[in-house]
Chains A and B, each alone.
Chain A
Amino acid sequence: MKITLKSALRDYSMLIALAAIWAFFGIEHPVFLSSRNLSLLLIELSITASLALGMLLVLLPGQIDLSAGSGVGLSGALAAVLVFSHGAPAPLALLASMAACVVVWSAMGALIVRQRIPAFIITLGGLLVFKGLHWLTIKGQTVPVSEGGKANLYSLLTTYYLPAIAGYVLAALVVAALCWSLLRARARRASYGFQVPDTERTFLTLFIAAQLVFLLVVVTNQYRGLPLPALILGTLALFVYVLTAHTPFGRYLYAIGSNEEAAFISGVPIQRTVVIAFALMGGVVALTGFMQTAYAGASTSTVGSLMELDAVAACVIGGTSLRGGRGSVTGVLFGALIMASLLNGMTLMAVSPEIKFIARGVVLALAVWVDVKLNAD
């Protein structure tokens, strides 16, 4: 394969953008690269990326969820009110709130595929309704996630850090799993007679990945250790990856997004697939809601606001098509990292909220434009 400047730019455009953003903030504001800030960035990334991974599941079959941000606020508020005002045990409160979200999102999915109402409209309605329900739930108050500042499962979601040794063990396990799965996938591709990347490249990829994993643990251990949200994100990313790349359900998502009519004639259970995608999105929205609310310490009326747009932006920057049929977990993770880094860096530099909005909007438009340019042949 010939590597031209353009193909290199296309393959590594996100890495280059990320490096540029980090270099800029690192030089302008060295605190950006401190272990404390990188730990916080990791938590923020975990929250943004989780929601974006859920969004990927609905974007792949050509749908969209505009209600995700409001949902984040509402699910966090429900759990917080159950814990703080009704004294419910945190695990039970989280479970109840998540179950409610799964049910409501399944219902939205069913309305979309059975009644043929566009997802844009249904979830736009959801955005408004859930925002209203969110405010009704907290009655305009600030509802903390735990009583009297005591730690519970809810508050620990973003305040628990893995002990240093556990972090290293985990990193070793992850690297081992990575090596095993990459080499196995390679061997299988070779046995099918497919093209495999050359050995050097495979080892280089593995080497860099292993370095990054250990670096991550070393850096976070310098602060308090690996934050729990990173673990949640890792698990979720693995789950979504296996789901999209290695199950019939995942194939159906791509098929529906690429050509719904052909998918129908090919016997793809379209209604069931889309409803399940929305049900999963409901679960992810709840999970993100808990992390975001816990990170804020309490449910307030602004939690989750506009997060659906960050999630869509992360997906799109990561190469997901809004028409469906195209997108990957790694792309979304990169997209989320770019969005989270921007926001974190700008907050550090005390950029005003007005400029933050403008900068994020410009980056989104710019990223898609560059993608279109680089992919045009």
Chain B
Amino acid sequence: MSALAAAHAPVLATRELVKRFPGVTALGGVSFDLLPGEVHALCGENGAGKSTLIKLLSGIHVHGSYEGTLLAAGREVKFSSTRDAEAAGIAVIYQELALVPEMTVAENLCLGHAPVRRGLIDWDAVYTQAARVLKMAKIELDPTAEVKNLGVAERQLVEIAKALSKDPKVLILDEPTAALSDDEVQRLLDVVRDLKARGIAAIYISHKFEEVFAIADRITVLRDGKSVVTLATQDTSPETVIRHMVGRPITELFPRRPNATGEVLLSVSDLTVAPHRGAPPRLTGLSFEVRAGEVLGIGGLMGAGRSELLLHLFGAWGARLAGRVKLAEIELKATNPHHALRAGLALVSEDRKRYGLFLESAIGFNLSLSSLSQLQKGGLLDESAEVARSQALFSSLRVKAPGLETVVRTLSGGNQQKVVIGKALMTEPKVLLLDEPTRGIDVGAKLEVYELINRLCAEGKAIVLVSSELPELLGMSDRIVMLAEGRLGGTFSRAEATQERLLSAALGRRSVATLAQPS
């Protein structure tokens, strides 16, 4: 092969990859090329085959377990372990971070291959090596900091540094910004750009189109396990990509249909909350109302206190120092979720695997758990009533599963989210608190969640929607409250809200909150 051809040969390529699991074909023919020094985005709904493809590229699914060919620098490679993939210059940064929280940045960077002198770890070498790696990646972090004290974004950077310490030719980033604020996303994108300038190619996987369009040179769309199309970013648009992802044009991304609002269902006045008594308050002087049939969006940067606010209203977090919360004229003391549910409040938490689901249990078990006190007859469970109500929710939410007895772990992210929402809905709440209800679920499932929000509003429920994605807040809320470091940054009506206004309110630049009610 001539030097010229080699320079243009893809660093990594796949040809007609097919991977079958018992009962499902996860990949049904994936072909794409990763050129030297390019950032190549992979887009696709959940279940489109992105994760499987990465596992194949990184040697988790070994050669022989799939059909098709994998090429690195023009030559076929057969990985029989992740070490083989590493040796071929492929480094992966996974969605779920793989750092040891109790160790320092440097210890994490050297984990598994710490420099040794006379059988003992050479700590000086550990820290100088780590400092060198961080400097090389232009990441400003203290190598002696303990990982548990770092934010999610900083941990992500440690992961990248760790991957870079192996001197890779290809970096695979799997949803690296799922938990990052806008600022942190920018920082991460800068690092990726810098690597690109140094000739390291990257495969970038994200649900967020803004990032994809900001960073990627080309985009390959996966649908149902097949590579559908590869597009040059400059010649395409998010709409086109979405159309390829779902296989049909989506006319409305946020189909919010405002409707007539009714009485005030939830009213919060002068709420000040600390993590525990004696601690400085995390939420200060918050006041707002939500009416029947209304969606109140709550936004803010990471750490602004959005989730804490919802958890507190629900009785699951913090000690109230001042203020009152009323739910349809009932005073809510917020002592525990049990009482909140009884009063007619339900919460869908942001971390569904941790706070929402019983993964090893059946869908039916999950759906009815919050409503069991209403489902008993003489101390025993009224199983016919339970099944009838679970079945009704199961069909109205269109959960894609064989039946109520299917174990939740086997469902896709979007369907798991439907189960969590279903559990909240079965309690027949007056007010529904949704914390990032569309995080990590695909476009189709997002739409279904939005439609559900519309339906619930039309039924006269009040909804509080927390989201870190401004387009979602703007698209789905009737009014928006922005939090800035636990204080009210501003309240906006649907008409006056713009990305810029919301962002400046989130940053606390607006000292006087504009109080606007829809007239």
Q: Is A26 an interface residue (CB 8 A)?
A: no
* Leading 4 A-B pairs by shortest Cβ distance: A248-B372, A267-B341, A192-B387, A258-B358
| B354 with A247: CB separation less than 8 A | no
Q: Is B337 an interface residue (CB 8 A)?
A: yes
- In the complex, which residue of chain B has the Cβ closest to the Cβ of A271? B336
Q: Is A261 an interface residue (CB 8 A)?
A: yes
Q: Is A4 an interface residue (CB 8 A)?
A: no
| B381 with A251: CB separation less than 8 A | yes
**Nearest-Cβ distance from residue A324 to partner chain B, whole angstroms:** 11
Query: Which residues from chain B contact A262 at a C-beta distance below 8 Å?
Result: 354-358
Q: Is B9 an interface residue (CB 8 A)?
A: no
A-B contact pairs, 8 of them (CB 8 A): A192-B404, A195-B405, A247-B379, A251-B372, A254-B365, A258-B360, A262-B354, A325-B360
Give bound CA distance, A89 to B347, whole Å.
Answer: 55
Give bound CA distance, A377 to B166, whole Å.
Answer: 33
Query: Which residues from chain B contact A325 at a C-beta distance below 8 Å?
Result: 358, 360-361
**Nearest-Cβ distance from residue A204 to partner chain B, whole angstroms:** 23
Q: Is A86 an interface residue (CB 8 A)?
A: no
Residues of B within 8 A of A (CB): 314, 316, 336-338, 340-341, 347, 349, 354-361, 365, 368-370, 372-373, 375-376, 379-381, 383-384, 387, 391, 403-405, 423, 427
| A259 with B358: CB separation less than 8 A | yes
**Nearest-Cβ distance from residue B434 to partner chain A, whole angstroms:** 13
| A194 with B404: CB separation less than 8 A | yes
**Nearest-Cβ distance from residue B299 to partner chain A, whole angstroms:** 22
Give bound CA distance, A252 to B369, whole Å.
Answer: 8
**Nearest-Cβ distance from residue B360 to partner chain A, whole angstroms:** 6
Give bound CA distance, A259 to B423, whole Å.
Answer: 15
Q: Is A29 an interface residue (CB 8 A)?
A: no
For window 314-337 of chain A, which residues contact chain B by CB distance below 8 Å?
Answer: 325-326
Known: A262-B354, A266-B423. A247 touches B381 (CB 8 A): yes
Known: A188-B383, A261-B354, A264-B337. A248 touches B373 (CB 8 A): yes
| B349 with A265: CB separation less than 8 A | yes
Q: Is A246 an interface residue (CB 8 A)?
A: yes
Give bound CA distance, A255 to B340, whole Å.
Answer: 19
- In the complex, which residue of chain A has the Cβ closest to the Cβ of B22? A377
Give bound CA distance, A252 to B337, whole Å.
Answer: 14
Give bound CA distance, A255 to B347, whole Å.
Answer: 17
Extra 7 A-B pairs, beta carbons < 8 Å, given A251-B368, A254-B358, A265-B316 = A193-B391, A247-B379, A248-B372, A252-B372, A264-B316, A266-B337, A266-B370
Determine the main DSSP class of A at the interface with B.
helix
Give bound CA distance, A255 to B338, whole Å.
Answer: 14
Known: A192-B387, A262-B356, A266-B370. A251 touches B365 (CB 8 A): yes
Give bound CA distance, A263 to B347, whole Å.
Answer: 13
| B338 with A267: CB separation less than 8 A | yes
- In the complex, which residue of chain A has the Cβ closest to the Cβ of B337? A267
Most buried by B among A191, A259, A326: A259
Give bound CA distance, A259 to B314, whole Å.
Answer: 19
| B360 with A261: CB separation less than 8 A | no
| B369 with A268: CB separation less than 8 A | yes
**Nearest-Cβ distance from residue B370 to partner chain A, whole angstroms:** 5
Query: Which residues from chain B contact A242 at a C-beta distance below 8 Å?
Result: 380
Give bound CA distance, A255 to B367, whole Å.
Answer: 12
Give bound CA distance, A267 to B374, whole Å.
Answer: 13
Give bound CA distance, A254 to B358, whole Å.
Answer: 9
Most buried by B among A252, A254, A262, A325: A262
**Nearest-Cβ distance from residue B164 to partner chain A, whole angstroms:** 35
Contact partner, A265, options B355, B365, B376, B404, Cβ 8 Å:
B355
**Nearest-Cβ distance from residue A338 to partner chain B, whole angstroms:** 25
Give bound CA distance, A41 to B275, whole Å.
Answer: 56
Query: Which residues from chain A contact B337 at a C-beta distance below 8 Å?
Result: 264-267
Known: A258-B358, A259-B359, A266-B423. A247 touches B370 (CB 8 A): no
Give bound CA distance, A216 to B166, whole Å.
Answer: 68
**Nearest-Cβ distance from residue B197 to partner chain A, whole angstroms:** 43
**Nearest-Cβ distance from residue A328 to partner chain B, whole angstroms:** 14
Give bound CA distance, A255 to B365, whole Å.
Answer: 9
- In the complex, which residue of chain A has the Cβ closest to the Cβ of B388? A192
Give bound CA distance, A269 to B383, whole Å.
Answer: 21
**Nearest-Cβ distance from residue B307 to partner chain A, whole angstroms:** 12
Give bound CA distance, A242 to B316, whole Å.
Answer: 31
Query: Which residues from chain A contact B372 at a C-beta distance below 8 Å?
Result: 248, 251-252
Contact partner, A267, options B340, B381, B404, Cβ 8 Å:
B340
| B370 with A267: CB separation less than 8 A | yes
| B375 with A265: CB separation less than 8 A | no
- In the complex, which residue of chain A has the Cβ closest to the Cβ of B342? A267
Query: Which residues from chain A contact B360 at a C-beta distance below 8 Å?
Result: 258, 325-326
Most buried by B among A194, A258, A265: A265
**Nearest-Cβ distance from residue B65 to partner chain A, whole angstroms:** 15
| A194 with B405: CB separation less than 8 A | yes
Give bound CA distance, A325 to B362, whole Å.
Answer: 13
Most buried by A among B354, B356, B375, B381: B381
Give bound CA distance, A170 to B136, whole Å.
Answer: 81
Known: A259-B357, A325-B360. A247 touches B340 (CB 8 A): no
| B376 with A247: CB separation less than 8 A | yes
**Nearest-Cβ distance from residue B22 to partner chain A, whole angstroms:** 10
| B347 with A251: CB separation less than 8 A | no
For window 194-219 of chain A, which residues contact chain B by CB distance below 8 Å?
Answer: 194-195
Give bound CA distance, A354 to B424, whole Å.
Answer: 56
Query: Which residues from chain A contact B341 at a C-beta distance below 8 Å?
Result: 267
Most buried by B among A247, A252, A266: A266
| A268 with B316: CB separation less than 8 A | no
**Nearest-Cβ distance from residue B176 to partner chain A, whole angstroms:** 26
